[in-house]
Amino acid sequence: MIVVMKQHCSEEAIEHVMTYLKDHGLSGHLSQGVERTIIGVLGAVGVAGTRTTAGGIYPEISDALEGLPCVETVLPVSKPYKLASREFHPTDTIVEVPVACLPEGIVRIGDTPVVMMAGPCTVENEKQLMTTAEAVRKEGAVILRGGAFKPSTSPYGFRGLGEVGLKLLAKARDEFGLAVITEVMTPTDIAMVCEYADILQIGTRNMQNYMLLDEVGRTDKPVLLKRGMSATIEEWLLAAEYILSQGNSNVILCERGIRTFEKMTRNTMDISAIPVIKRVSHLPIISDPSQGTGHRDLVAAMSLASIAAGTDGLLIEVHPNPDEALKDGAQSLTLEQFKSLMPRVEAVAIAVGRGVVTG
C-alpha cells in the first residue's frame, strides 16, 4: 500500500509515519516529489523457506495510518510488483555510477541526458579492448561494455576470459576514465566481478535466476537487468523486484529484444516497452539494439527509434574488426560506424529535449 501525505507536511510528520511503520514490522519507502510526499509500505520480504507477508498488511494498520492528521489517504498498490512500480515511487529513479571522465565524477542514468555505453560484446584481448575503449571514449561514450563471463548458447562457443577479462576492463577504465559494465552469471562470481565492475549486468538468460537476483540485490552496485528473451514486461518488473526487495535500489532495465516468430532479425526490439516501462515504473530503462537486431546495419535505426521513444541510454556493441570477432560480430558496429552514429544520436536526443552525456 502507499501512504499519501498531505501537501506541505512537515519532516516530523513523515518521521512519525516512518516510526509507526517500523514499530509495526513494516518498511516505509520515502518518495518526495515536488508536489507530494508518498510513503510506500511493504511487509516483511520473502526469504527462502518463509512465506512473504508483502501486501498482506492488516486493514487496522491502514485505518490507523489514514487517521493520522498528516495523512491524506492510504491506497493499495494494484500491481504485483511494488517497489518497482510508479504508484509506489512516483518520481523517476536516477542511478548514479562513478566515472572519472566527467567533471562531477559520476554519470546519472535516468536523468535528462541520454547515456552511451559501448564496447565489444566480449573482451578478447588487450589490444582489441583498448582500441575499442579509446575509440568509443573519443566519440563521447562514458561507459565501457565488455563480457568477461559469456553466456554461450552452444557449450562450444567462446565463454569469455573470466578474471583476465575483468582485469583488462579495469585497465581500460584506468586508462580512459570510463565506467565499466560487465555480466555476472553466477552468485559465486559476484564478489570478484564487483571488484572490477561499476555496473553488474544480468543477461537475458538469467533474468529469472532468482538466486542470482537475490544476491546482486544484496550488493550496493548498480545492476543492469536485461529483459528475458521470452519475458513479459510484468515478469521483467517482478525480476527487478527481487533485486529491489533485497535493498539494492540501483536497478536499470534494459530492453534487448524478445523472441518472436520473425526470423529476419535475431530478436524483435520491443520499442513500445520503453514508454510502457516509463508509465508503470520509476526505474531507468536503456536499449540494446545490438542483441535486439543481430545485424549491424539495423543498429543505428533502432538506436534512434529508442531515443525517440524515451530510452535513458544505449548499450552498443562495437569492435575494431567485427568480421573477426569471437562473438556477435554480425551485430557489432565498426569504430567508424560508431563514430558516424554519435552525431545522429545527439540530434535525435536534442530533438526530444534530452541531449547526450558526453565525456
Contact residues toward Mn ion (CB under 5 A) are 121, 328
Nearest to 299, CA basis, from 259, 323, 330, 273: 330
Give Cα separations from 333 to 115, 136, 153, 177, 314 (angstroms): 18, 11, 22, 22, 13
Closer of 139 and 288 to ligand PEP (Cβ): 288
Is residue 147 near ligand PEP by the rule CB under 6 A?
Answer: yes
φ/ψ of residue 217, rounded to 5: -65, -20
Residue facing ligand PEP at closest CB distance: 203
Longest Cα pair distance anywhere in the chain, in angstroms? 68
Select from Mn ion, ligand PEP, none the partner in contact with residue 241, using the beta carbon and a kind-dependent cut-off of 5 to 8 Å: none
φ/ψ of residue 312, rounded to 5: -95, -5
> Which residues make Cβ contacts (< 8 Å) with residue 31, sequence separation at least 6?
37, 38, 39, 40, 88, 89, 90, 91
Is residue 151 near ligand PEP by the rule CB under 6 A?
Answer: yes
Is residue 121 near ligand PEP by the rule CB under 6 A?
Answer: yes
Select from ligand PEP, Mn ion, none the partner in contact with residue 128, using the beta carbon and a kind-dependent cut-off of 5 to 8 Å: none
Would you put residue 357 in left (φ > 0), alpha (ψ -120 to 50) or beta? Answer: beta
Is residue 203 near ligand PEP by the rule CB under 6 A?
Answer: yes
Residue 147 CB, nearest approach to Mn ion (Å) = 7
Q: Give the helix/strand (H/E) hosting 29.
A: strand 27-32
Give Cα separations from 1 to 43, 67, 79, 87, 88 (angstroms): 10, 15, 10, 9, 8
> Which residues make Cβ contacts (< 8 Å) with residue 347, sequence separation at least 6?
none
Nearest to 30, CA basis, from 19, 18, 20: 18
Select from Mn ion, ligand PEP, none the partner in contact with residue 267, using the beta carbon and a kind-dependent cut-off of 5 to 8 Å: none
Give CA angle at 92 (91, 93), nearest 5°. 115
Residue 322 CB, nearest approach to Mn ion (Å) = 12
φ/ψ of residue 157, rounded to 5: -75, 170
Tell me, by CB under 6 A, how many residues bind ligand PEP: 9
Indicate which single residue of 29, 86, 226, 354 sits in contact with ligand PEP (rule: CB under 6 A): 226
Closer of 21 and 169 to ligand PEP (Cβ): 169
238: its cell numbers: 517482478
Residue 119 CB, nearest approach to ligand PEP (Å) = 10
Residue 264 CB, nearest approach to ligand PEP (Å) = 18
Residue 41 CB, nearest approach to ligand PEP (Å) = 34
Is residue 119 near ligand PEP by the rule CB under 6 A?
Answer: no
Select from ligand PEP, Mn ion, none the partner in contact with residue 256, using the beta carbon and a kind-dependent cut-off of 5 to 8 Å: ligand PEP
Q: Give the helix/strand (H/E) hosting 253.
A: strand 251-255
Closer of 219 and 267 to ligand PEP (Cβ): 267
Closer of 21 and 180 to ligand PEP (Cβ): 180
The span from the CA of 342 to the CA of 354, in Å, is 14
Residue 260 CB, nearest approach to ligand PEP (Å) = 15
Indicate which single residue of 256, 266, 278, 319 sits in contact with ligand PEP (rule: CB under 6 A): 256
Helix segments in 104-162, DSSP class H: 126-138
Is residue 291 near ligand PEP by the rule CB under 6 A?
Answer: yes
Select from ligand PEP, Mn ion, none the partner in contact with residue 203, using the beta carbon and a kind-dependent cut-off of 5 to 8 Å: ligand PEP
Residue 288 CB, nearest approach to ligand PEP (Å) = 6
Is residue 266 near ligand PEP by the rule CB under 6 A?
Answer: no
The answer to whether 172 touches 133, Cβ cutoff 8 Å, is yes
Closer of 219 and 293 to Mn ion (Cβ): 293
Closer of 90 and 146 to ligand PEP (Cβ): 146
Contacting residues toward ligand PEP, per CB under 6 A:
121, 147, 151, 203-204, 226, 256, 288, 291
